[in-house]
Structure 1
Amino acid sequence: MIEGYVGRESVTAGGILALHVSTDAPIYRVRFYRLGNELELVRESVWQPGTLHSPPPHPDGHPAGASPAVDWNWPSVEFSIPDSWRTGIYLAHFIEGGPGCEDSPPVLDGSTIEGFEREFFIVRPRQPGKLSRILYKKSTFTRHAYNRSDRRDEERAASLYDNPVYLRGEDGGGPGHQVSLHRPGGVIDLAYWDAPFISWLERSGYAVEYCTDLDLHENPALLTGYDLVLSVGHDEYWSQAMRTQVEDFVRAGGNVAFFSANTCWWRIHSIDGNSAFRSDTDHRVGDEYPHLPATDQWWPPEPHGVGAPENTLTGVSFRNGGMWASSDGSWPGDRPRAGYSVQHAEHWVFEGTGLRDGSNGGIQDALGAGTPLIGYECDGAAFFYDAQGVARASGADGTPDSFLILGIHLLQPVHHDFHRFKHGHWNCTVREPSITSPRAATMGVFTAGGTVFTAGTTDWPVVCGREADAGVVRVTRNVLDRLSVRITTGG
């Protein structure tokens, strides 16, 4: 048995990476891989003495026994990161040694990224923006919210969603569910969303630099070296500092591509020296909701929310989107495969796709038809159909006036329809007693100094990365090629 976590999920090339490892084996070593076009083995450490450590107990005494809320505080071993390592996302694979252990298991490849006994970290360049003006922001706060701290042989179910810990804020940290960044859990989301997209980026010739949510949260000057920021996959949890910096970046002419959904749904507050965060969400603790309405939802007005609809950042919101799950509980579940109905086919986003919008009396094409492009979760904007049958954003939910709907898919039926839940991911009858807009996954673009493109679906990077649809691939290229240089006009 072996497991571990990183002291910090990013390190500058030439810096020090701290790994916290627990094992019942007498010795262990670490293989380091870089995630790119292929999974590349870049280093293997010498053997280290192994020691076994226990997780901190759950404060409510759950049988699983582990707390998601506090630093697990295992001793660390430091590894020097060579100055020559390229920026990117790396895996640390923990390998047991000694009697009864397979001292040299097979080298990992692209099909074996997901699993336990491993963690990921990011190597940042010493000079931001020197290699590339594109910054890939890995959604690490969301990863920690969902991290269950399971081990291959033990299901702990210790996360914000399973056996969460809610603190009332008497310690001065404010009320909310608390999640520690210092605990193990293996690699799941990286393998599903990020790995195929990163592989596609590299084999397609796009040079990209990387950061974590915490890097963006801590460094107000981080974005000054870039022209385009990428949000990929599932990017649900944002701090105020993150949001402010991205919005300022756009106002100054920077561009953002949200190849993601459920984006900026909850606000988080970084605490304990940025080793943990709290968020006043609506997740149950046992059979009770500690606080409703949850005040860290971005869109509802104060005092029962933040009062800053995520639409002003992204153009869309999970509020008018949907979520898909299989009847048997499997993930990511069954999804619509009709794709996005194309609008404004003359727009630069569709250049070279050959797609049509039906405005000339022909057939209205669908982007991504036959693929699960309409993702596990998707975002939408309040909209209406004009006299010509074209969907247009109403702005009733905070979507900017300049937002142009380029693709739309009505979500009928919605597997998880929060409008009809008494309590759900946004306490629906408390928040919004009646449905204010049809539910639809929405792809679009708007300008606010710089340009913001939103895919409106978590699974865009999966479909593109696997090259499952030529139109999705070409649209992605168009977005990257145009927005990788700052522009302040057009849209």
Structure 2
Amino acid sequence: MIEGYLGRESVTAGEELTVHVSTDAARFGLRFYRLGEDLEPVAETDGHPGSLHLPPPHPDGTPGRPSPADDWDWPPLALPVPEHWAPGMYIVQFVEDGDDPPPLDAAGLEGPAREFFVVRPRRPGGRSRVLYKKSTFTRHAYNRSDRPGEERAASLYDHPVYLPDGDPRGHKVSLRRPGGIIDLAYWDAPFIAWLERNGYPVEFCTDLDLHEDPDLLSAYDLLLSVGHDEYWSEAMRGQAERFVRNGGNIAFLSANTCWWRIHPTDRNTAFVSDTDHHVGDEYPHLPATDQWWPAAPDGVGRPENSLTGVSFRNGGMWASTGWPGDRPREGYTVQHADHWLFAGTGLRDGSDGGEPDRLGAGTPLIGYECDGAAYTRDERGVAHASGEDGTPTSFLILGIHVLEPVHEDFHDFKWGHWNGPAREPGITSPRAATMGLYTAGGTVFSAGTTDWPVVCGQDQDAGVAQVTRNLLDRLGHRSARD
């Protein structure tokens, strides 16, 4: 048995990576891979002395459950990262002495006894002006710290820890505990491979990098948010908004984006968020004051769609059982087909008298979670952002899919869509997954769905791939006027 975690999920080339390992073997080794078009082995170490360590007990005394809130505090092992390692996403695999598992490959990336980390360049922006942000805060919120043969179920969603008298008050999650690779394997790996396969170099950062470094985005022209990007700090959001005002571009190839505000604590090795998750059979505190969109004091009072253009409260989700389950496969109904976003796709919007085409038709593009904007329709049936929910009125809807049926009960969404227990009563437009963009200094594009990088990365739809190329080609460089 062997498992481990990293002291931090990003490191600059030439500096040290810290790993924390627990094993019942006398010695263990580490295998390192770089994730690109393929999974490339880059280094291997062995002969490290092993020792077995237990997780901290749950502070509520929950039998058989470890704490998701405490640093697991396993002994550190510091390793230098060679200066010649290319910027990118890397995997470390923990291997017990005497065991010789087959090398990891991209097709079998998900699993225990491995973790991912970002290697950042010594000179930011030197290889690419495109920065790919890995949503590590969201990863840790969902991380159950399971291992083979043991479901620990310790996360923000399973047996969470709530601090009623904390400053800040809320559910607490530590970034220093094991979990293996799940979200990276599903959302990021196929898209990172697609980027490299199609000749788009990118540099990488984590949520924590963006939170800590106010100058991080100054070296880049385009920020990518990919997959499931639910948890954001005030500093992250403020820097993203300032980046756009100063002419930087953002592509949200993600959904459920910026849904909860988080507060990093413990020298940025944990975070707290006042959410609406159960503790036992109770909601410890409602309303959940770290939800971005509700007005203060019931929430933050800064609707996420004022940045992204879209919101989860106007979208929906599908059950994770039987994934992708009952998702619609009609794709996005195309609007404004003459827009540069659709160049080279051949897609039509019905303005010629025919039926409008659908982007991603036949694929599970809409889901696993999706975001939308409140909208009205004109006499031709074209959807326009109304702006009544906080979406910029200049947001141009380029694709839309109305979500039906809608299930309101959070605990009964297995065969439908769920969209939060509260919603502005004045907004009457049907909920719809929404793709579009606006410009306010720089340009912000929102795909409106978590699974855009999967459909694109696996080349499931030629139109989705071409739109992604158009985005990268157009937004990967600031315009001359900026």
TM-score interval, smaller chain: over 0.9
Which of these residues, 144, 158, 163, is aligned with residue 167 of structure 1? 163
Question: Does structure 1 residue 269 correspond to structure 2 residue 263?
Answer: yes
Amino acid at match of 1:342: V
Q: Distance in 2 between matches of 1:419 and 1:49?
A: 47
How many residue pairs get aligned? The number is 479
Q: How does 1:146-165 map to 2 (within 5 A)?
A: 146-165=142-161
Among 303, 308, 315, the residue aligned to 1:314: 308
Q: Which position in structure 2 is the counterpart of 1:5?
A: 5
Change over 3 Å in CA distance of 1:443–1:370 after alignment to 2: same
SS at match of 1:51: coil
Paired AA for residue 116 in structure 1 = P
The answer to whether structure 1 residue 451 and structure 2 residue 447 are counterparts is no
What runs of 5+ residues in structure 1 fail to find an aligned partner? Answer: none
Alignment partner of 1:337 out of 294, 304, 329: 329
In structure 2, the partner of 1:62 is: 62
- What is residue 193 of structure 1 aligned with on the other side? 187
What is the Cα deviation at residue 131 of structure 1?
0.5
2:421 matched to which residue of 1? 428
Q: Which amino acid aligns with 1:367?
A: L
Match of 1:474 in 2: 466
Give me the whole-angstrom Cα distance separating, in 1, the residues matched to 2:408 and 2:350.
31
1:202 CA displacement: 0.3
| 1:247 pairs with 2:247 | no
Q: Percent identity?
A: 71
Q: Structure 1: which amino acid aligns with 2:34? A: R
For 1:342-368, what per-residue CA distance to the aligned partner results, in whole angstroms no more than 9, with x for missing partners? 000000000000000001101210000
Would the aligned equivalents of 2:38 and 2:105 in 1 still touch at CA under 8 Å?
A: yes
Contact 2:406 2:418 in 1 (8 A): no
Cα distance in structure 2, aligned partners of 1:2 and 1:338: 44
1:384 aligns with 2:376: yes
Shift of 1:153: 1.9
Q: Secondary structure at the match of 2:46?
A: coil
Q: Equivalent residue for 2:356?
A: 364
Counterpart position of 2:403: 411
Q: Is the 8 A contact 1:419 1:435 kept in 2?
A: no
Structural mapping, 1:70-219, within 5 Å: 70-98=70-98, 102=99, 104-170=100-166, 173-219=167-213
- Determine whether 1:224 maps to 2:218: yes
- Over residues 270-318 of structure 1, what are the superposed CA-to-partner deviations in whole Å (9 max), with x where a residue is unaligned? 1000000000000000000011010000000000000000011100000
2:160–2:171 contact (8 Å) kept in structure 1: yes
CA distance in 1: counterparts of 2:356 and 2:419, whole angstroms: 34
Return the letter of the residue paired with 1:461. Answer: P
Letter of the 1:93 counterpart: Q
- AA of the residue aligned to 1:304: D
Partner of 2:340: 348
Give yes or no for contact 2:9–2:116 (8 Å, CA) kept in 1: yes
The 8 Å contact of residues 4 and 19 in structure 1, kept in 2 or not, is answered as: yes
1:423-481 alpha-carbon deviations (Å, 9 max, x no partner) = x988624x545763311000001001000111000000000000000000000000000
Q: Which moved more, 1:252-261 or 1:42-51?
A: 42-51
Distance (whole Å) between structure 2 residues aligned to residue 83 and residue 402 of structure 1 = 45
Match of 2:17, SS state, is strand
CA distance in 2 between partners of 1:80 and 1:468 (Å):
39
Inter-partner Cα distance in structure 2 for 1:251 and 1:130: 23
Which residue type is aligned with residue 82 of structure 1? P
User: What does residue 36 of structure 1 align with?
Assistant: 36
Question: What is the DSSP-based 3-state SS (H/G/I as helix, E as strand, rest coil) of the residue aligned with 2:195?
Answer: helix
Amino acid of the residue matched to residue 5 of structure 1? Answer: Y
The CA distance in 1 between the partners of 2:232 and 2:302, in whole Å, is: 12
Q: 2-side partners of 1:434 and 1:289: how far apart? A: 26
Question: Cα 1:224–1:182, aligned 2, differ >3 Å: closer, same or farther?
Answer: same
Letter in 2 for 1:183: R
| 1:256-283: CA deviation from partner (whole Å, max 9, x where unpaired) | 0000000000000010000000000000
CA distance in 1, matches of 2:296, 2:265: 22
| TM-score where L is the length of structure 2 | 0.97
Q: Which amino acid aligns with 1:456?
A: G
Which residue of 1 is the match for residue 22 of structure 2?
22
- Whole-angstrom CA distance in 2 between matches of 1:65 and 1:325: 25
Q: CA RMSD in A?
A: 1.8
Between the aligned partners of 1:351 and 1:4, the Cα distance in structure 2 is 46
Distance, in Å, in 2 between the alignment partners of 1:416 and 1:109 is 41
In structure 1, distance between residues paired with 2:418 and 2:366: 19
Question: Normalising by structure 1, what TM-score?
Answer: 0.95
CA contact (8 A) 2:408 2:418 kept: no
- For the residues of structure 2 that align with 1:376 and 1:416, how far apart are their CA atoms? 17
